[in-house]
Amino acid sequence: MSIMGRSGPGRQQRIAALQIAAQRDLEQIRNILEDITGLYSRWSNNIIVAPMSTRYWGIKEWTCDIGIREDVLQNLEWRWTTMIHESLHAISIDLTVEALTQHRGWEGVVEQMQRSLRSSIFTRLNITIENTRLQDIDQLNPYNGYIRELERLRGRLDIESDRFYLDLLSTPLNERSQFVRRLGESQLTGNDRRAWLQLFEDAHQVLIKR
Amino acid sequence: MSVEQARQELVEQMLRATTEEEVRAATEAADAWLKKHPNDVTVLLAGEQLTMIEHGLQFMKEQKQRQSA
């Protein structure tokens, strides 16, 4: 475990306590997510308590360490939603630098899964957070644009949410777009197929941010 | 431009950054914004993807340097 930021005896103790608690909770989340998804987590088992000067709320580093700001770890709803979100990045198949750069919005799957899985995770961990508070923080998320496009595609395909997003999470990031495109192509014919391809292309342009 | 418009433009810049130059410009813009608005959750959440790409580009650069050494 790493300690970042300015030190002082009281602060060091606080950070150490945050790390211990976050380590325990991330291990529980990892176990539940592996159980639910059937996928293997690449999390390094290392949690970094990041200082308040950090430019992010939470992050899954390329070393597979998970970093979360100390203020986030002290806020009930942000703490759990961020831990679940970052843990899902550690499970997401073939999340590489190249794939993230070229297919960034297709990793929005992780935030949508965080929202759909959190209530069952909270139940298993005996945690109570008001749903309205969670919905309020969802509104602030900059990945909502990605989720909107993924939901448009899912809606047209008429696939049940959990199935759709788990299939995407299990597909390498740089193959997710073609996976979804082919789903539509295999289901639709004629004008419906043409409309699907247009819908797909419009959504894909938003998801790859070009 | 209103504060909200400026914020939306910043978030868009952060989410679009791909090259080293774009990432540097976006991180500088985000840092300047966060000095004035340290609790802007949307910008901090967008900082995740930006920082992942920033660290990823560094990681790839270091890998190339190791391979050519």
Chain B residues in contact with A58 by the CB 8 A cut-off are 48
Instruction: Write out the CATH class of domain A1-91.
Output: alpha beta
- When pLDDT is cut at 50, 70 and 90, the band that residue A9 belongs to is confident
Q: Which two tokens stand for residue B52?
A: 């992942």
Q: B46 and chain A: CB distance < 8 Å anywhere?
A: yes
> pLDDT digit string (tens) for A35-44?
999 999 999 9
- How high is the pLDDT of residue A57? 95
Q: Does B51 touch chain A (CB under 8 A)?
A: yes
* Identity of residue A46: N
For the stretch A138-173, pLDDT in tens is 999 999 999 999 999 999 999 999 999 999 999 999
Residue A87 three-state SS: helix
A58-60 vs A66-69, strand pairing mode = antiparallel
A·B CB contacts under 8 A: 66
Cβ pair A49, A55 in contact under 8 A? no
8 Å CB contact between A84 and A114: yes
Contacts of A101 in chain B (CB under 8 A): 18, 53, 56
Q: For B3-37, how does the pLDDT look when each residue is reduced to its tens digit (9 = 90+)?
A: 999 999 999 999 999 999 999 999 999 999 999 99
Cβ contact A209–B53 (<8 Å): no
DSSP for residue A74? T
Q: Please state the pTM of the whole predicted model.
A: 0.94
pLDDT over threshold 80, residue A19: yes
Instruction: Say which DSSP state A57 is in.
Output: S
Q: What local confidence, expressed as pLDDT, does residue A3 receive? A: 46
How is residue A30 written in tokens?
């990892």
Per-residue confidence band for A184, with pLDDT thresholds at 50, 70 and 90? very high
Q: Where in chain A are the domains? A: 1-91, 96-210
Domain ranges within chain B, ordered by starting residue: 3-68
Both tokens of A133, joined, read: 């508070």
Is the pLDDT confidence value at A1 over 50?
A: no
Q: Across residues A193-197, what is the average pLDDT?
A: 97
- Amino acid letter, residue A49: V
User: What integer is the mean pLDDT of B53-69?
Assistant: 92
Mutation site, A101, A136, A141, interface B, largest B CB count within 10 A: A101
Beta-bridge mates of residue A3: A49
Q: What is the ipTM of this complex?
A: 0.93
Is B2 a residue whose pLDDT tops 80? yes
Confidence check: pLDDT of A106 > 50: yes
pLDDT at residue A13 greater than cutoff 80: yes
Q: Do A56 and B27 touch (CB under 8 A)?
A: no
Q: How far is A96 from chain B (nearest CA, A)?
A: 8
Task: Say if residue A34 is exposed, middle or buried (CB neighbours under 10 Å; 0-12, 13-18, 19+).
Answer: middle
CB neighbour list of residue B67: distance below 8 Å, 6 or more residues apart: none
Question: What average pLDDT does chain A have?
Answer: 95
Single-letter amino acid code for the residue at A196: W
